Structure 1
Amino acid sequence: MSLPVRIHQLEVAYGGRKQDAVVAVNGVDIEIGSGEFGVLLGPSGCGKSTVLNTIAGLISPTAGTITVGDQVFFDKSRDINLKPEKRGLGMVFQSYALWPHMTVFDNVAFPLRRRHVKREQIASRVGEMLELVRCQQYAKRYPHELSGGQQQRIALARTLVGKPAVVLFDEPLSNLDAELRIQLRDELALLHSEIAFTAVYVTHDQAEAYGLASKLFVLRDGRVEQTGPPLNVYHAPATEYVASFLGANSWAGEIVGREGKRLVVDSEYGIIESTSDPKGLGVGDTAVVAAYPDRIGLQRDPSGAGVVVSKRFGGAAMEIVVALGPANDDRLRIRRAADLVDVHEGDRVRLVVDPADALVYAGRPTHASDREHRPVPLDVQS
């Protein structure tokens, strides 16, 4: 059985609600349906782990409500704050948190023994769960005899063996190497399809978010910036911040006209046309243009505004950095197939962007924080 999770106007302020309080979560609304895989995505410090910990009961909010199924976990106005052990949730941590003195079997059996489940049922349930995570052969081993990936599988099995209706995941794959992360991400998605639990998953890794989420929540400074299926969020970022965090380049400009259904933007890197039609923007308004690295082409042009700062082989594609000048720190990162690249370091270039791939927003570029956490975005197919 799985249950929906509903969070309404959640607030977490350290130092109470005083004027100088630090507000970590500010008016968050989240709804994850029964059996859905909800992913909270955002940079460090955006509030995603704080939200997760309020659901678990490890942090007491300053305001708002948290409801799982028909049970109210937290309601400030009614003075309800259910203790963590009464919430019946499963939780998988970033650290594996396995008991070092217990075998794999005993680690997985631990939640069932605490609930006084009969011995024969424990043996059956633990065996089934170890088989699901492909670790049945390790039942008699101790955690220190396992690899990191195997330990995380055991931690997952221990969480799921009690059949919780809701499972919370706090960046559970971040300690693993890249290839193993992909493997366990895919296995987790398969487990979710086989065991109908509701998931609330926290990550800063967009590849994990795309691969797991049925509903994605992009957080910024303690608020939800955008919600929706991953494909929709990727292809239609609601704000320049979301586009930038998901890996898009962004640069400043001014709207100078319209040609039919196309906006014409005089940008730092030259004229860009766009079929996006942001509300409230007109000729003369300041705007920001955004486009994903694999949607920007380059042409050598002596009068072009951009300069190729670097060109590096990146495996499946060439990684090219373009700036307004060699010393300019505000740079565009472009990713193109090798056979589509005919530029070299030092070349002056102009950008070539299909109007359908150029997104336009009001304001100035934010260059979403924690850029080091944002890998080159996946080529998500529509």
Structure 2
Amino acid sequence: MPALNLINVTKLFGSVKAVNKLNLEIEQGECFSFLGPSGCGKTTTLRMIAGFENLDEGELYCDGKLFSSSYKHFYLAPEKRNFGMVFQAFAVWPHMTVYDNVAFPLQIKKLSRSEIQSRTELALKATSLTKEAQLFPGKLSGGQQQRIALARAVAINPKVMLLDEPLSNLDPHLREEMRFEIKELQTKFGFTVIYVTHDQSEAMALSDRMLVMKEGVVQQIDNPLEIYNNPANKFVFSFIGLSDFIPVMVKDRKVFIEGAMENGALQVELPNTLNPALTYDIACRPGEIDFASTGITAFVLRRTYLGDVVDYLLKIGNTEIRVQKTRREAIAKAGETCHIKFNRILWYDHSEETTSKT
């Protein structure tokens, strides 16, 4: 039985469908991420799961138990859903110690003193806050304050943990550290994680599966590697990872970069479904383009060192292309010409959108 089951879930804000007929099953113990640009509907979906927003249409089940239904006019209040929740803001009470912050939700539930103590101490230990238990949040770093929020959520023994952009207020080093801590907590306590983010690196690092949304509509649901390597459409390709889209012309079954026919034909395979009435973009990742001794000629506009990776901006005809290589492979210099070849490409209709309208 899935941990969560969403059936035709729809949410309206006026005439705008923030979420449009979402059907989704999330398995027990799974880390599942909602990924997409701002305004795509991911946070609205999380709020409906939490019970902060009711459904305009559809049904929501947890462990087979009905939580929300527009058809049966049923709605279970958030406090009865027993979900752990961690948000972008740390949401800690500054006048309470770390211990009291974590214990407070258990006190509201009117648990026994001994159970409150054991649960609170376990949650503090799991989030490496035992030594800070009697300090006030103002004395702690941002990462430690976010650990308080995690400990508070863990202490209630949730079946499902809801996290909405929980790391976006942290510096890059802390964000990376906290990703691993969240994953370790999930492994230790066995709860299901639903993680909302616009940061694809977080989603890729944490998720067993993830959902990519655009304008309230699901674009793809799969594991991170499959979404990265086999995106469902042009939007998913553009949103997950760095991407190059290169407009091309097909003439006599030969492929030329638009505005650069003098460069010669690309050594790429034509799709079996090629429609001569359409114009196309070939898409690739910056790391899937190699420098070569022969091939298409490009002009190097920029060369930027990014630690172990060198980032290039090349120009062919009227098209600018990103290329990323290791320092060992970075043989071209700014202001020079070079030759490149494409290792792997995908074909898309040139008119298909790559970005969200919102």
Q: TM-score, normalised by structure 2?
A: 0.91
| Counterpart residue number, 1:250 | 245
Q: 1:123 to 1:275 in 2, by over 3 A?
A: farther
**In structure 1, what residue type is equivalent to 2:164?**
D
Give 3-state SS (helix, strand or coil) of 2:143's partner: helix
**In structure 2, what residue type is equivalent to 1:38?**
F
| Counterpart residue number, 2:347 | 360
Q: 1:336 to 1:222 in 2, by over 3 A?
A: same
| Counterpart residue number, 1:377 | none
Offset, 1:112: 1.1
Offset, 1:298: 3.4
- Segment drifting more, 22-31 vs 151-160: 22-31
Unaligned runs of 5+ in 1: 16-20, 259-263, 371-382
Q: 1:256 to 1:80 in 2, by over 3 A?
A: farther
**In structure 2, what residue type is equivalent to 1:223?**
V
Q: 1:44 to 1:124 in 2, by over 3 A?
A: same
Judge conservation of contact 1:251–1:365 (CA < 8 Å) in 2. Answer: no
Q: 1:28 to 1:367 in 2, by over 3 A?
A: same
Judge conservation of contact 1:276–1:359 (CA < 8 Å) in 2. Answer: no
Offset, 1:78: 1.6
Judge conservation of contact 1:300–1:347 (CA < 8 Å) in 2. Answer: no
Offset, 1:212: 0.6
| Counterpart residue number, 1:296 | 289
The aligned runs of 1:214-229 (5 Å cut-off) are 214-229=208-223
Q: 1:266 aligned to 2:256?
A: yes
Q: TM-score, normalised by structure 1?
A: 0.85
Q: 1:180 aligned to 2:180?
A: no
Offset, 1:149: 0.3
Offset, 1:318: 0.7
Unaligned runs of 5+ in 2: none
| Counterpart residue number, 2:279 | 286
Write the deviation string for residues 105-124 of structure 1: whole angstroms up to 9, x where unpaired: 11111111111111111111
Q: 1:311 aligned to 2:311?
A: no
- Segment drifting more, 131-140 vs 52-61: 52-61
Offset, 1:303: 7.2
Query: Aligned equivalents of 1:63 and 1:206: distance in 2?
Result: 29
Give 3-state SS (helix, strand or coil) of 2:323's partner: strand
Q: How many residues align?
A: 352
Q: 1:275 to 1:98 in 2, by over 3 A?
A: farther
Q: 1:55 aligned to 2:54?
A: no
- Segment drifting more, 138-147 vs 339-348: 339-348
Write the deviation string for residues 22-74 of structure 1: whole angstroms up to 9, x where unpaired: 22112222221111010011111111111111111112232122111112222
- Segment drifting more, 66-75 vs 226-235: 66-75
**In structure 2, what residue type is equivalent to 1:248?**
S
Offset, 1:173: 0.4
Write the deviation string for residues 213-259 of structure 1: whole angstroms up to 9, x where unpaired: 0011111111111111111111111111111111221122245577x
Offset, 1:346: 3.0
| Counterpart residue number, 2:39 | 45
Q: 1:146 aligned to 2:140?
A: yes
Query: Aligned equivalents of 1:300 and 1:45: distance in 2?
Result: 45
Identity score, percent:
35
Give 3-state SS (helix, strand or coil) of 1:191's partner: helix
Q: 1:345 aligned to 2:306?
A: no
Cα RMSD for the two superposed structures: 2.4
